């Protein structure tokens, strides 16, 4: 199989020439196109506006109003809210009538004070209203690998606890967008498997006012329906923390915790960037997060758009699941190096500033038991790629 550094190499220009048309993709595969530029402008250019009404899912993680500047830049306060709201009607036009817009955004804190900023929430509400959208469901994505932050209040003064989740809003122009939770079933926990196998449990009313029937848990539905708290299916329940035995069982069942952690340091994209001497995007989403919403809200062949693509996790996951994709990233270095997420053989076009070339193929000699023959100069070379 083709791979960067083994079969292909790439040279990426340090800067994009001024005056380059942002409406031509910087690279493409048969399924998708990556653009570099301001998505507010790009969404109004011909290639993207021609796709209006065709996108099944907008999945994105926009820059959020940080109180310290990160390398990819961001606005603050009311400026941020106004800027973010401008995307709502544009993205609404892009999606199909039963399409979805899913936005993941971290928490923000006020500068110099141990209190949270409500700008993110205000921005969401303004976005919802400006786009004429419904809030289908809110998700919390727990990230156990997040470093303690904000450092000043958590680690130094010890007056706040670790901020460990991001918020995800699933919005849609209709109250019933295309969705199927059967595509995101989780493996049953060992205790649920035992319950299905043995059929032994206590039916009857619960304090929560749910009535558990005699057959409620006997059917094997192929897996458990996940909750809207990603990663937290592996957190111990209150009961489980109370008894050592239950806690031990929880530890054994907690492998989902690892599945959402965004700590993979040796992934192909990172390796690619380091080999190219390029910065690795500092705010990459876990692939599992993209995968979850792709499976829940789209089918093979559907179009997925990420207008704040960063390292293009969305495009790469869409490609691997047979979805079409469109990505837009304003920063040339991040946009161009996202090519490292794709198999070089799948690339159909690249712009002049990205030059892909085959590496010389290795020459092997046929295996032989005759040492003399193998060293003879007229042995037939085998060319492999």
Ligand X SMILES: C[S@@+](CC[C@H](N)C(=O)[O-])C[C@H]1O[C@@H](n2cnc3c(N)ncnc32)[C@H](O)[C@@H]1O
Residues that bind ligand X (CB under 6 A): 38-40, 61-63, 72, 281, 283-285, 308, 310-311, 313, 328-331, 334
Q: CB 203 → ligand X: shortest distance, Å?
A: 45
The residue (of 121 and 240) whose beta carbon lies closer to ligand X is 121
Identify which of residues 256 and 311 has a Cβ nearer to ligand X in the complex.
311
In the complex, least distance from residue 343 CB atom to ligand X, rounded to whole angstroms:
18
Shortest separation between residue 212's beta carbon and ligand X, angstroms? 41
Q: Which is nearer to ligand X, 98 or 267 (CB)?
A: 267
- Cα dihedral 194, 200, 202, 203, rounded to 10, equals 100
Nearer CB in complex with ligand X: 168/253: 168
Instruction: Give whichever of 72 and 217 is closer to ligand X, judged by the CB atom.
Output: 72
Nearer Cβ to ligand X (63/177): 63
Minimum gap (Å) between residue 139 Cβ and ligand X: 15
Nearer to ligand X, 253 or 329 (CB): 329
Residue whose C-beta lies closest to ligand X: 310
Residue whose CB is less far from ligand X, 96 or 311: 311
CB of 59 to ligand X, least distance (A): 9
Output the 3-class SS for the chain.
CCCECCCEEEEECCCCCCCCCCCCCCEEECCEEEEECCHHHHCCCHHHHCCCCCEEEEEECCCCCCCCCCCCCCCCHHHHHHHHHCHHHHHHHHEEEEEEEEEEECCCECCCCCCECCHHHHHHHHHHHHHCCEEEEEEEEECCCCCCCCHHHHHHCCCCCCCCEEEEEEEECCCCCCCCHHHHCECCCHHHHHHHHHCCCCCEECCCCCEECCCCCCCCCCCECCCCEECHHHCCCHHHHHCHHHHHHHHHHCHHHHHHCCCCCCCHHHHHHHHHCCCCCCCCCCHHHHHHHHHHHCCCCCEEEECCCCCCHHHHHHHHCCCEEEEEECCHHHHHHHHHHCCHHHEEEECCCEEEEECCCCEECCCCCCHHHHHCCCCCCEECC
CB of 74 to ligand X, least distance (A): 7
Nearer to ligand X, 253 or 304 (CB): 304
Q: How far is the CB of 105 from ligand X (least distance, A)?
A: 8
Tell me if 321 sits within 8 A of 300, measured CB to CB: yes
Burial status of residue 161 (CB atoms within 10 A of its CB: 0-12, 13-18, 19 or more): exposed
CB of 173 to ligand X, least distance (A): 22
Q: How far is the CB of 311 from ligand X (least distance, A)?
A: 3
């Amino acid at each position: 199989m083709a791979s960067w550094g083994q079969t292909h190499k790439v040279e990426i220009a340090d800067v994009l020439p001024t005056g380059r048309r942002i409406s031509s993709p910087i690279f493409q595969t048969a399924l998708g196109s990556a653009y570099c530029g301001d998505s507010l402008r790009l969404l109004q250019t011909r290639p993207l506006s021609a796709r209006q009404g065709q996108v099944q899912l907008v999945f994105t993680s926009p820059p959020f109003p940080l109180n310290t500047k990160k390398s990819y830049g961001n606005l603050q306060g009311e400026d941020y809210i106004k800027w973010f709201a401008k995307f709502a009607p544009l993205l609404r036009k892009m999606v199909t009538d039963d399409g979805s817009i899913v936005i993941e955004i971290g928490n923000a804190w006020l500068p110099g004070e141990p209190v949270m900023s409500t700008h993110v929430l205000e921005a969401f509400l303004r976005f919802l209203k400006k786009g004429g959208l419904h809030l289908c469901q809110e998700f919390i994505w727990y990230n156990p690998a997040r470093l303690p932050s904000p450092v000043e209040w958590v680690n130094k003064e010890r007056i706040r606890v670790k901020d460990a989740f991001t918020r995800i809003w699933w919005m849609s122009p209709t109250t019933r967008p295309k969705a199927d939770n059967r595509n995101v079933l989780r493996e049953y926990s060992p205790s649920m498997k035992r319950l299905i196998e043995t059929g032994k449990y206590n039916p009857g009313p619960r304090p929560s006012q749910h009535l558990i029937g005699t057959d409620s848990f006997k059917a094997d539905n192929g897996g458990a329906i996940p909750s809207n708290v990603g990663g937290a299916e592996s957190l111990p329940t209150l009961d489980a923390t109370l008894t050592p035995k239950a806690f031990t069982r929880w530890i054994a069942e907690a492998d989902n915790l690892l599945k959402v952690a965004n700590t993979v340091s040796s992934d192909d994209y990172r390796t690619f960037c380091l080999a190219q001497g390029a910065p690795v995007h500092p705010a990459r989403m876990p692939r599992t997060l993209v995968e979850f919403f792709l499976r829940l809200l789209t089918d093979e062949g559907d179009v997925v758009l990420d207008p704040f693509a960063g390292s293009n996790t969305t495009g790469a996951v869409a490609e691997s699941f047979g979805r079409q994709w469109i990505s837009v990233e304003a920063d040339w270095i991040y946009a161009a190096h996202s090519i490292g997420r794709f198999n070089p053989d799948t690339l159909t076009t690249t712009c002049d500033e990205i030059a892909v070339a085959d590496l010389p193929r290795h020459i092997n000699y046929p295996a032989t038991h005759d040492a003399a023959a193998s060293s003879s100069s007229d042995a037939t070379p085998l060319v492999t790629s």
